[in-house]
Chain A
Amino acid sequence: MIDSLGPKIEDRSSKIHVSVDHLTHEYPARHALFGAPSAPTRAVNDVSFAIARGETLALVGESGCGKTTTGRAILRLIEPSSGGVTFDGIDVLGLAREPLRKLRRRMQVVFQDPNTSLDPRMRVGLTVREGIEAHEIAEGAAADARVARALEEVGLRASDAAKLPHEFSGGQRQRIAIARALAVEPEFVVLDEAVSALDVTVQAQVLALLMQLQRDRGLTYLFIAHNLAVVERIATRVAVMYLGRIVEIADAAKLYASPQHGYTKALLSAVPVPDPRVRKKRLTWDGT
Chain B
Amino acid sequence: MTGEPLLDVRDLVVTYAGDAGDAGDAGGAGDVRAVDGVSFAVHAGETVALVGESGCGKTSVAWALMRVMAPAARVGAGSSVTFDGADLFALEERAMRDLRGRKIAMIFQEPASALNPVMKVGAQVAEVALLHGERSKRAAWDKAVAMLDRTGIADAARRAHQYPHELSGGMRQRVLIAMALMMRPALVIADEPTSALDVTVQAQILDLLRDLQRETGMAVLFITHDFGVVAELCSRAIVMRAGKIVEDAPVDEIFHAPKDPYTAELLRAVPRLAADR
Q: Which of B210-237 touch A at CB < 8 Å?
A: 225-232
- Give chain A nearest CB distance to B93 CB in angstroms: 35
Given contacts A201-B269, A271-B273, A275-B231, contact A266 B200 (CB under 8 A): yes
Contacts known (A274-B255, A277-B252, A278-B276); A267 close to B232, Cβ less than 8 A: no
Judge whether A233 is part of the interface by a CB distance below 8 angstroms. yes
Q: How far is the CA of A169 from the CA of B25 in the complex (A)?
A: 8
Q: Which of A130-138, A213-221, A222-230 contacts B (4 or more CB under 8 A)?
A: A222-230
- Select which of B231, B232, B270, B273 is within 8 A of A256 by beta carbon: B273
Query: In the complex the two chains form, is B269's CB within 8 Å of A227's CB?
Result: no
Q: Is B54 located at the chain interface by the 8 A CB criterion?
A: yes
Which A residues, 229 to 288, have Cβ-Cβ distances below 8 Å to chain B?
A: 229-230, 232-233, 256-257, 266-278, 280, 282, 284-285
B252/A227 in contact, CB under 8 A: no
Are the C-beta atoms of B198 and A280 separated by less than 8 Å? Answer: no
In the complex formed, the residue of A with least CB distance to B197 is: A63
Contact call B54/A229, Cβ cutoff below 8 A: no
Which of B207, B229, B231, B270 has a CB less than 8 Å from the CB of A200? B270
Say yes or no: A62 contacts B200, CB within 8 Å.
yes
Residues in A neighbouring B252, C-beta threshold 8 A: 276-277
Does B200 lie within 8 Å of A229, measured CB to CB?
no
**Chain A: CB-nearest residue to B203:** A270
Contact (Cβ within 8 A) B54 A272: no
A236 to chain B, nearest CB (A): 15
Q: For residue A274, which residues in chain B have a CB less than 8 angstroms away from its CB?
A: 227-228, 230-231, 255, 267, 270, 272, 276
A272 contacts B24, C-beta separation under 8 Å: no
A282 to B206, CA, bound (A): 12
Residues of A with C-beta under 8 A to B267: 274
Q: Is A166 an interface residue (CB 8 A)?
A: yes
A200/B200 in contact, CB under 8 A: no
A199 an interface residue at 8 Å Cβ cutoff?
Answer: yes
CB-nearest residue of chain A to B200: A270
A63 touches B198 (CB 8 A): yes
Q: Does A204 contact B (CB under 8 A)?
A: yes
Docked pose: A200 CA to B54 CA in angstroms: 10
- Asked if B177 CB lies within 8 Å of chain A CBs, one says no
A203 at the interface (CB under 8 A from B): yes
Instruction: List, in ascending order, chain B residues with CB within 8 A of A257's CB.
Output: 275
Q: How far is B99's CA from A36's CA once the two chains are assembled, in angstroms?
A: 47
- Asked if residues B266 and A200 are in contact (CB atoms below 8 Å), the reply is yes
Contact of B53 among A201, A230, A278 (CB under 8 A): A201
Chain B 238-277 interface 0/1 with A at a Cβ cutoff of 8 Å (1 = within): 0000000000000110011000000001111111111110
B273 touches A229 (CB 8 A): yes
A186 at interface, CB cutoff 8 A: no
Taking a contact as CB atoms under 8 Å apart, the answer to whether A204 and B269 are in contact is yes
Chain B's nearest CB lies how many Å from the CB of A248?
A: 15
Q: Which residues of A contact B231 (CB under 8 A)?
A: 272-276, 278
Is A83 engaged at the interface, CB distance under 8 Å to the other chain? no
Contacts of A63 in B (CB 8 A): 169, 198
How distant is B105 from chain A, measured CB to nearest CB, in Å? Answer: 24
* Set A203, A276, A280: member contacting B271, Cβ < 8 A: A203
Report the Cα distance A228→B207, complex, angstroms.
20
* Residues of A with C-beta under 8 A to B92: none
A200 with B271, Cβ < 8 A, contacts A274-B255, A278-B276 known: yes
Q: In the complex, are the beta carbons of B269 and A200 less than 8 A apart?
A: yes
Residues in B neighbouring A278, C-beta threshold 8 A: 231, 276
Decide yes or no whether B15 CB sits under 8 A from chain A: no
- B1-52 contacts to A, CB under 8 A, are 22, 24-25
- Given the complex, which residues of A lie within 8 Å of B232, measured CB to CB? 272-273
Q: Are A228 and B255 in contact (CB under 8 A)?
A: no
Write the chain A residue with the least CB distance to B27: A167
* Alpha-carbon gap, A272 to B226, bound state (A): 9
A272 touches B266 (CB 8 A): no
Asked if A232 and B269 make an inter-chain contact with CB atoms under 8 angstroms apart, the answer reads no
Given contacts A228-B273, A278-B276, contact A273 B228 (CB under 8 A): yes
Instruction: Report if A54 contacts B (CB, 8 A).
Output: no
**0/1 interface trace, chain B 171-213, chain A, CB 8 Å (1 if under):** 0000000000000000000000000001111110011000000
Instruction: Write the nearest CB–CB distance from B154 to chain A, whole angstroms.
Output: 13
Q: How far is the CA of A269 from the CA of B228 in the complex (A)?
A: 12
For residue B271, which residues in chain A have a CB less than 8 angstroms away from its CB?
Answer: 200, 203-204, 227, 229-230, 232-233
On whether the beta carbons of B269 and A272 are closer than 8 Å, the reply is: no
**Complex Cα–Cα for A274 and B231 (A):** 5
Residues of A within 8 A of B256 (CB): 275, 277
Known pairs A203-B269, A270-B200 / 18 extra A-B pairs, C-beta < 8 Å = A62-B201, A63-B169, A169-B25, A199-B53, A200-B227, A200-B270, A202-B53, A204-B269, A232-B274, A267-B199, A272-B199, A272-B228, A273-B231, A273-B276, A276-B251, A276-B252, A277-B255, A282-B203
Closest 6 A-B residue pairs measured CB to CB?
A: A272-B228, A229-B271, A62-B198, A199-B53, A270-B203, A204-B269
Residues in B lying within 8 Å of A, measured CB to CB: 22, 24-25, 53-54, 169, 198-203, 206-207, 225-232, 251-252, 255-256, 265-276
- Pull 5 A–B residue pairs with CB atoms less than 8 Å apart, ordered by A: A200-B53, A269-B203, A274-B231, A275-B231, A275-B255
